[in-house]
Copies of this chain bind each other. A is one copy, B any other.
Amino acid sequence: MIIVLKPHATKEHAEELMQRIAALGLRPLYMPGQERVVLGALGDERALESLHLDSDPLVESVKPILAPYKLVGREMHPHDTIVALGNTRVGGGRFTVIAGPCAVETAEQMRATAAAVKTAGAHALRGGAYKPRTSPYSFQGLGQEGLAILREVSRETGLPAVTEVVDVADVELVEEYAAAFQAGARNMQNFRLLQALGRSRKPVILKRGMAAKVDDLLLAAEYILAEGNPNVILCERGITTFETATRNTLDLNAIPVIKQRSHLPILVDPSHGTGLRELVSPMAKAALACGADGLLVEVHHDPPNALSDGRQSLFPEQFAALMRELRPIADAVGKVM
């Protein structure tokens, strides 16, 4: 850790800080510069948090050298993590496609959509029973009834089911019904929920928050791993920017960045990432080409009548076409679909 002192900090002040650094078992370093004194602290700088050096009125800034996370980082864990998701797997050279409607609406809708995505080659089924909606007047999901439909259709088709959990109180119930949890973008920093998911052993698909930097996403994942659940799958789903042509700005740069920094698998959700049906297919291909481990994609058997997010849902035949177009790209980049 590098500690830059303010121009008027005295030598005595620097020495006091160095003693506090040494008291924590790190090696302090004194670097008097032309305009400022800079201190270094050699060792595991995460120990230094207890000193609250950035609160010191004579400290101008503190620059950490190490990443703020450990368990999710690639440095101590260089090999890619592969997460089992029901009868399929995510990570390690596969390209896993999880498809289905935004929300579970009826058994018929789920059956029709699941049949279509299975025929087209999807590996798992998605569908929300609890829907976080921006407006209180929008459809909020079927709750436990939706979970039951999802499980039934999952059993019929053999596709493992993924569904969102929005409250600590629902974790046990969702765990009973689904193969994997999804923690949504709006809950990426609902730390109490992350801790509850960390006490399960079922996989968690953790979506990046709209204002979260890559490192914030990795720190959120660290919450889950720190509680004991290693089965985390990250998901890029678009960030908030000034551009209004798309609902969010799908940040594909995050894929290679995360591959450098973390061993966890990373999916891309081109449906929420763009908000526009027409953009799902090109962005899904781009996700595959830049190294993502799979997709989370919205498909509805009848998008114009979907109760939520119909604007971004693929028609079944569009999804089938996408799967056909992805395969030669997967071959080209050496991924198995």
Contacts and interface: CB of A to CB of B under 8 A. Distances in A.
Given A33-B42, A36-B65, A134 B305 contact: no
Nearest to A305: B52
A204 B49 CA distance: 32
Tell me the interface secondary structure of chain A in the complex: mixed
A278 interface: yes
Contacts of A307: 52
Interface string A27-60: 0010111111010101110100100101111000
A36 B66 contact: yes
Interface stretch (A90-98, A144-152, A247-255): A247-255
Interface string A200-214: 000000000111011
Contact of A252 (B42, B138, B241, B252): B252
Contacts of A189: 132, 134, 186
A23 interface: no
24 contacts: A2-B2, A2-B38, A29-B40, A34-B43, A52-B304, A52-B306, A52-B307, A68-B137, A134-B189, A135-B222, A140-B191, A167-B168, A168-B168, A211-B242, A214-B245, A239-B243, A240-B240, A241-B241, A245-B253, A245-B257, A249-B249, A282-B291, A283-B290, A328-B332
